[in-house]
Chains A and B, each alone.
Chain A
Amino acid sequence: MSLATLARRGSHGATSPERTDSDVPAKPSKAATPRQDAPPGGLAERLSLASSACAVLALVCGWMLLQLLVLGGLSHTRDQTLLYSKFRSELAQATAPTGELDYNGNPVQPGAPVALLTIPAIGLQQVVVDGTASGDLTAGPGHLRDTPLPGQAGWSWVFGRGSIDGAPFHKIADLAKGDTASVRTGQGLVDYTVVDVRRAGDPVPALPAGSGGGLLTLVTADSRGFLSALRASAPVYVDLTTDKALTDGPVAGAVPSSELVMARDTSGLPILTLLLALLTGLVLAITAARRHFRAALVWLVSTPVVIALAWAATDQVTRLLPNLM
């Protein structure tokens, strides 16, 4: 709350182009007569205050939506491009991981690419990263680390976001029985067939028998009804099977609770606190600067920093949200 107040005072007029115009004496104001500050104590002052508060609120909401739905998508696309080239070179060098241990025998780092998932029916091609914490899924679909890698024998799980940060798994609930998907890992290419889309109450399919039996479960969150594209309330599972799965490699013994279905990751809270403090400091600095320098100059210098800090802070906020959103 103090932040909002500070923002209101500090960035007084930032949300109002008219104010900015009127602050610049060299530019003639559009208004015929110069407007005055509301007299203190009256209804007008309280309204003015409420207006500014609402403006800040609208700004924060708008920024969040922009970040989650648009800028997050950009960031996701960039991450995917980088991951794709990294994974491609690992495949070429045959150093792509075949389990939870990498080429050198060290544990695979969360966020490292482990597989390439292609589902032609919904036009999906994503590099799957290792780890399913909220932060890992920002870059792309994540592999649940205590299950075999996709393409390997056994039951593998891949989580993906359904509504924000590029929403790679937005359409997986549209898949129908018989649709095909393929997974490329360091061990080769494995083709899967969709068994069904599964929600609460639906039967869990069996692991195909035999040494080559593989079940791949894709998980995201969605809902049905009004604004369903924005509402990721319940997990939805898509099961795919293959009978030509490859030998499984080592799996992680256990994963932290932040990597489970619909889990949140609070590990970013310290950084978020730091970023919010920096943002507060920046607001104070802008307010102070406004008294000494021209507004245009101040905004020119501070806007990129504000955006960067806001972006970084929102990224940390995203980690606090359920990982399948």
Chain B
Amino acid sequence: MTRPVRAALLAALAVAMSIAVPSFAPIGAYASTSHHAQPTKVGRSARVSVPGCTAEYGVTSRDSDSWSATEPVERTFGDGTPDTTSCIHLEVNKHTNLQDHERIDVTWSGAHPTAGRALNPFGETGLEQEYPVLLMQCRGIDPKDDPKVSAKQEVTPDTCWTNTYFERTASADPGLGIWQQEADATDADTAHISGIDPAKIPDECNVTSTFDYHITPFQAANGTLYPGCSSQSMPPEATVNSVSIPQEASAFTNLHGDGQFEFDPRTNLDNASLGCSSTVPCTLEAIPIDGINCAPGNASQACNATGQLPAGQVNPGSAPQDAVAPAFWWSASNWERRIPVPLTFAPPPGVCQAASAGKPVPFYGSELLSQAALQWTPAYCQNKKRFNWQDNIIPDQAAVALMTNGSAASAEVSSRQANDDDIDYAPTAVTGWGIGFDIDKPGNAGQQLTINLDARLLAKLLTESYPGSVAVEQAHPGFSHNPLSLNLDPEFEKLNPGLDTAHWSENAAALMNLSTSSGVITQLTSYIAADPSAMAFLHGQPDHWGMRVNPFYKNVKLPVSTWPLLDTWVDKTTNNPCLQAAPTAYMPLIASPVSSLRLVATALLYSWPLVTTGCTGNGTTTSPFQLSRAAPEGLGNRFILGLITLGDAKRYDLTVANLQASPGHYVAADDAGLSAAVKLAKPGPKLKPFELSQKAIRKSKTAYPGTSIVYTAAKTSGLPKATAADVAQFIKVSSTEGQVAGRGNGELPDGYLPITKSGPTRRLFAQSQKAAAAIAAQKASPQQASPGSSAGAPPSSSTGPDIPLPSAGTTTPPVPSPEIAPTDGSSPTQSGTVTAALSSPVGGSLLPVLLLLGIAAGAVTGGSRYWLRKQGLK
């Protein structure tokens, strides 16, 4: 629905709802001075009293970062209907040291069941519901949490983020606005314009005298006031249909009054206008929409409305009634019921990029380490005794190449590399990969929290063996006996009963995967290669139900470090105008892999499939045909899976599938599964990686197959002293204080199994201490000095001694300096590294010699010929 249409609709709705309602004389105040305040258990005032329910905020747990609150809620009616009360209990699983997009699991009970569920609860699309719980992020501290907060820091509706102005602006026939019928409405509320100084309303908002308005402006962190009454007067981050989905959500409460939602908090990295950061505290406001309080005697139908949509069911297409609609979250009745969860944020990843943090020492390597790095980095750059550690994500092999040639101090890898004679490996993290999924139970029964998968199902997904649609099933060779998508596969149904078996989609036909080379892909494909039934399937043998492998992938060789896209089938009968205009292999568009596992995690976070079989444009030069990504899946109907790291899974609260270890045993990606797998790892040769074979895991009932050990690999000879000391310091710090589980700086986040002196990881701990000593000592017999080992040379591991590459023979640390803005205008350089002299006598002299020799020989020939001819001779 377009904006103008929606705006018109909302305005019309507001008018329709308020027609024939007599205007009501306001009493009380808009902002919460209450006449029957009672002291509560935590000493805060509340305007309602519900027997057996005491307002209480900030019950925390010693073991975890959880936070809970209780809020008594009462709705008063003016038409004689008995007042309703409820007691809402809300709990979040974390609220401090949050990272950008680190989802918070919010659960509540005792709320009014939501009616007319919106499949997309985010932003304006969530408004079409009755009685949802609106979750929004607001800048500041709520007086309910801290009564002493200064007015400047206090949360008000003006500091709460919304993505569209529909959530900030309401209009109605004069005197008939639902906010004007509040029991506590003041003269200010019943005015023609309320909520904002009329002088600040820009012209484009088209405020006319025909209607009354309530406008909730947005106060940005930098002081700018955005009126919020038109799309132009919203903050710049408020964009519709952009990459990021709206943050605020009108969450669903089931018929028992229970609800659960993963709230996605954002820092100033994503939303500078909201401006939450490690220095600016914010609040997650959970506003249970429970109905506008009508004053006694106000019998207006609009004010006393209790909803017209079916409770617990999907919205059939009708509009909600204003009195119970989330669009009026800022009204006094709704705002007063808010439950404020105080949030604090971790330092941003960029904290160590400041020049004052010192020159970063880059480590390169596996994405498996990235979530730990997020918490570890500040513990280095903010400690004067430590170096400035910098983690960069690149494929394992490339990282080792950089480390070997000296461009990187160290490589973070998850497996043994070639030619590693003088390289030691220090175990740094035990983590792994997993198959994340967003799957909903049928009939709005909530999210499915566990599924079981085996190697053959993964092989089926990776080989694009599910057609995804009837048209592809009929046209693509070899698909005639294949289920349309994973949820229709009898093998999957047998492992995961009770899920949707009625629908199919392209989103459920593929695994969101990585396009680049990665140790994770090697491990995933090794897992498949170790499973005889999966390999039989790949070799062309049908499964018990007759499904066959996609013929393009038949006999594909595993393991691989980059998953190949082999299907070249072009759909010649397609209706898709983009594909008609430019025929393209179809199945890779369903697989549509991306360049990092983080992007897969983001796709799961937004339930937004990577499938790009859509088409936009009309084929003209101004609007050419373009393949487009599928729409995000609606809550309640989701079914997508993707390959993610366990660190991302825990950080963003994504659900991860259990994988089959020994036949019939499905193991969860938790600490128990990781430690069981670590126990199976066999020590390698001296200070080389442990060998964790999928064959051993297939014999275990408890080992998680996606377990990976990430190592810090560094040279034991030829490293400059300073660099060697930095690497040794990193290994020591990361294997001790970096292995303390927690959410603070320097601690180990969820998704990683701590490496400790005792327990299943003790051998890893011992090896990292030995490796740290060996790397610090740099006493391994030095390898033949090759120019490639010095700074400034291109990554090259075999270099002829007679052909020195540039800048051979320097002794400075082989560390490219960061781009610290030079103040004198000179370019940053690799510290002390200069271009080496190199010359080629052949190259320099060949052409001149040829030229001179040719001219001389020609002259001799000409001269002698001339003389001979003069003599009359031949």
Q: Which residues of A contact B288 (CB under 8 A)?
A: none
Q: Which of A105, A205, A235, A324 contacts B829 (CB 8 A)?
A: A205
Q: Which of A237, A250, A264 contacts B517 (CB 8 A)?
A: A250
Query: Known: A50-B860, A58-B854. Is A199-B835 also a contact (CB below 8 A)?
Result: yes
Task: Indicate if the CB atoms of B830 and A203 lie closer than 8 Å.
Answer: yes
Q: Is A151 in contact with chain B by the CB < 8 A criterion?
A: no
Q: Is B545 in contact with chain A by the CB < 8 A criterion?
A: no
As a 0/1 sequence over residues 247 to 279 of chain A, the CB contacts with chain B under 8 angstroms (1 = contact) are 111110111110011111000000000000000
Separation of A94 and B583 alpha carbons in the complex (Å)? 12
Give the Cβ gap from A212 to chain B, nearest Cβ, in Å: 11
- Residues 818 to 844 of chain B near chain A (Cβ within 8 Å): 818-819, 827-830, 832-844
Separation of A262 and B850 alpha carbons in the complex (Å)? 20
Q: Which of B397, B516, B841, B868 contacts A38 (CB 8 A)?
A: B868
Q: Is A296 in contact with chain B by the CB < 8 A criterion?
A: no
Q: Is B817 in contact with chain A by the CB < 8 A criterion?
A: yes
Q: Which residues of B contact A164 (CB under 8 A)?
A: 847
Q: Which of B393, B562, B819, B872 contacts A105 (CB 8 A)?
A: B562
Give the Cβ gap from A219 to chain B, nearest Cβ, in Å: 8
Q: Which of B816, B837, B873 contacts A36 (CB 8 A)?
A: B873
Q: Which residues of B contact A64 (CB under 8 A)?
A: 850
Separation of A50 and B859 alpha carbons in the complex (Å)? 12
As a 0/1 sequence over residues 15 to 36 of chain A, the CB contacts with chain B under 8 angstroms (1 = contact) are 1101100000000000001011
Q: Which residues of A contact B853 (CB under 8 A)?
A: 57, 61
Task: Indicate if the CB atoms of B851 and A207 lie closer than 8 Å.
Answer: no
Separation of A129 and B778 alpha carbons in the complex (Å)? 40
Task: Indicate if the CB atoms of B840 and A234 lie closer than 8 Å.
Answer: yes
Q: Which of A50, A223, A235, A324 contacts B806 (CB 8 A)?
A: A235
Query: Known: A44-B873, A58-B857, A250-B562. Is A146-B846 also a contact (CB below 8 A)?
Result: no
Q: Is A47 in contact with chain B by the CB < 8 A criterion?
A: yes
As a 0/1 sequence over residues 78 to 98 of chain B, the CB contacts with chain A under 8 angstroms (1 = contact) are 000000000000000000000
Which among B398, B799, B855 has the highest number of chain A CB atoms within 10 Å?
B398
Q: Which residues of B contact A54 (CB under 8 A)?
A: 856-858, 860-861, 864
Q: Which of A48, A154, A325 contacts B864 (CB 8 A)?
A: A48
Query: Known: A61-B853, A201-B837, A203-B834. Is A48-B873 also a contact (CB below 8 A)?
Result: yes
Give the Cβ gap from A232 to chain B, nearest Cβ, in Å: 4
Give the Cβ gap from B462 to chain A, nearest Cβ, in Å: 14
Q: Is A217 in contact with chain B by the CB < 8 A criterion?
A: yes
**Interface residue tally for chain A (C-beta within 8 Å):** 87
Q: Is A300 in contact with chain B by the CB < 8 A criterion?
A: no
Q: Is A163 in contact with chain B by the CB < 8 A criterion?
A: yes
Q: Is B792 in contact with chain A by the CB < 8 A criterion?
A: yes
Q: Which of A35, A55, A65, A254 contacts B851 (CB 8 A)?
A: A65
Q: Which of A68, A155, A209, A230 contacts B407 (CB 8 A)?
A: A155
Task: Indicate if the CB atoms of B851 and A261 lie closer than 8 Å.
Answer: no
Give the Cβ gap from A90 to chain B, nearest Cβ, in Å: 14
Give the Cβ gap from B817 to chain A, nearest Cβ, in Å: 5
As a 0/1 sequence over residues 640 to 678 of chain B, the CB contacts with chain A under 8 angstroms (1 = contact) are 000000000000000000000000000000000000000
As a 0/1 sequence over residues 167 to 184 of chain B, the CB contacts with chain A under 8 angstroms (1 = contact) are 000000000000000000
Q: Is B241 in contact with chain A by the CB < 8 A criterion?
A: no
Task: Indicate if the CB atoms of A155 and B795 lie closer than 8 Å.
Answer: yes
Q: Is A202 in contact with chain B by the CB < 8 A criterion?
A: yes
Q: Is B797 in contact with chain A by the CB < 8 A criterion?
A: yes
Task: Indicate if the CB atoms of B874 and A37 lie closer than 8 Å.
Answer: yes
Task: Indicate if the CB atoms of A247 and B828 lie closer than 8 Å.
Answer: no
- The closest CB in chain B to the CB of A105 belongs to B564
Q: Which of B360, B595, B794, B816 contacts A217 (CB 8 A)?
A: B794
- The closest CB in chain B to the CB of A22 belongs to B874
Q: Is A89 in contact with chain B by the CB < 8 A criterion?
A: no
Query: Known: A209-B353, A253-B418. Is A230-B848 also a contact (CB below 8 A)?
Result: yes
- The closest CB in chain B to the CB of A259 belongs to B796
- The size bracket of the interface on B is 35 or more
Give the Cβ gap from B196 to chain A, nearest Cβ, in Å: 41
Separation of A155 and B832 alpha carbons in the complex (Å)? 18
Q: Which of B394, B819, B847 contacts A163 (CB 8 A)?
A: B847
Task: Indicate if the CB atoms of B864 and A47 lie closer than 8 Å.
Answer: yes
Q: Which residues of B contact A180 (CB under 8 A)?
A: none
Query: Known: A146-B795, A231-B845, A231-B848. Is A207-B407 also a contact (CB below 8 A)?
Result: yes
- Residues 71 to 124 of chain A near chain B (Cβ within 8 Å): 94, 99, 101, 104-105
Q: Which residues of B contact A38 (CB under 8 A)?
A: 868, 871, 873-874
Q: Is A233 in contact with chain B by the CB < 8 A criterion?
A: yes
- Residues 219 to 249 of chain A near chain B (Cβ within 8 Å): 221, 223, 227, 230-235, 237, 247-249
Q: Is B243 in contact with chain A by the CB < 8 A criterion?
A: no
Separation of A264 and B818 alpha carbons in the complex (Å)? 35
Q: Which of A69, A204, A206, A210 contacts B835 (CB 8 A)?
A: A204
Q: Is B560 in contact with chain A by the CB < 8 A criterion?
A: yes
Q: Which residues of B contact A154 (CB under 8 A)?
A: 394, 398, 402
Separation of A51 and B869 alpha carbons in the complex (Å)? 12
Give the Cβ gap from B137 to chain A, nearest Cβ, in Å: 27
As a 0/1 sequence over residues 787 to 820 of chain B, the CB contacts with chain A under 8 angstroms (1 = contact) are 0000110111111101101110000000011110
As a 0/1 sequence over residues 110 to 154 of chain A, the CB contacts with chain B under 8 angstroms (1 = contact) are 000000000000000000000000000000000010111000011
Q: Which residues of B contact A33 (CB under 8 A)?
A: 872
Task: Indicate if the CB atoms of A262 and B847 lie closer than 8 Å.
Answer: no
Q: Is A315 in contact with chain B by the CB < 8 A criterion?
A: no
Give the Cβ gap from B427 to chain A, nearest Cβ, in Å: 24
Q: Which residues of A contact B795 (CB under 8 A)?
A: 146-147, 155, 251
Separation of A203 and B516 alpha carbons in the complex (Å)? 33
Q: Is B865 in contact with chain A by the CB < 8 A criterion?
A: yes
Which among B794, B796, B807 has the highest number of chain A CB atoms within 10 Å?
B794
Task: Indicate if the CB atoms of B839 and A206 lie closer than 8 Å.
Answer: no
Q: Which residues of B contact A281 (CB under 8 A)?
A: none
Q: Which of A209, A251, A263 contacts B819 (CB 8 A)?
A: A209
Task: Indicate if the CB atoms of A221 and B843 lie closer than 8 Å.
Answer: yes
Q: Which residues of A contact B869 (CB under 8 A)?
A: 18, 35
Q: Is A183 in contact with chain B by the CB < 8 A criterion?
A: no
Q: Which residues of A contact B817 (CB under 8 A)?
A: 206
Task: Indicate if the CB atoms of A233 and B829 lie closer than 8 Å.
Answer: no
Task: Indicate if the CB atoms of A232 and B844 lie closer than 8 Å.
Answer: yes
Q: Which residues of B contact A51 (CB under 8 A)?
A: 860-861, 864-865, 868
Separation of A231 and B795 alpha carbons in the complex (Å)? 28
As a 0/1 sequence over residues 88 to 131 of chain B, the CB contacts with chain A under 8 angstroms (1 = contact) are 00000000000000000000000000000000000000000000
Residues of chain A having any CB pair with chain B under 8 Å? 15-16, 18-19, 33, 35-38, 44, 47-48, 50-52, 54-55, 57-58, 61-62, 64-65, 68-69, 94, 99, 101, 104-105, 144, 146-148, 153-155, 157, 163-164, 195-196, 198-211, 213, 217, 221, 223, 227, 230-235, 237, 247-251, 253-257, 260-264, 321-322, 324-325
Q: List 24 A-B contacts (CB under 8 A).
A: A19-B874, A35-B872, A35-B873, A36-B873, A48-B874, A51-B868, A54-B856, A55-B858, A61-B853, A68-B847, A153-B394, A198-B835, A200-B837, A201-B834, A204-B792, A209-B819, A230-B847, A231-B847, A232-B847, A260-B799, A261-B805, A262-B840, A322-B842, A324-B840
Q: Besides A206-B819, A251-B401, 6 other CB < 8 A contacts?
A: A35-B872, A203-B834, A213-B819, A232-B844, A251-B795, A261-B803
Which 5 pairs between the two chains have the least Cβ-Cβ distance? A233-B844, A61-B854, A257-B800, A200-B837, A51-B864
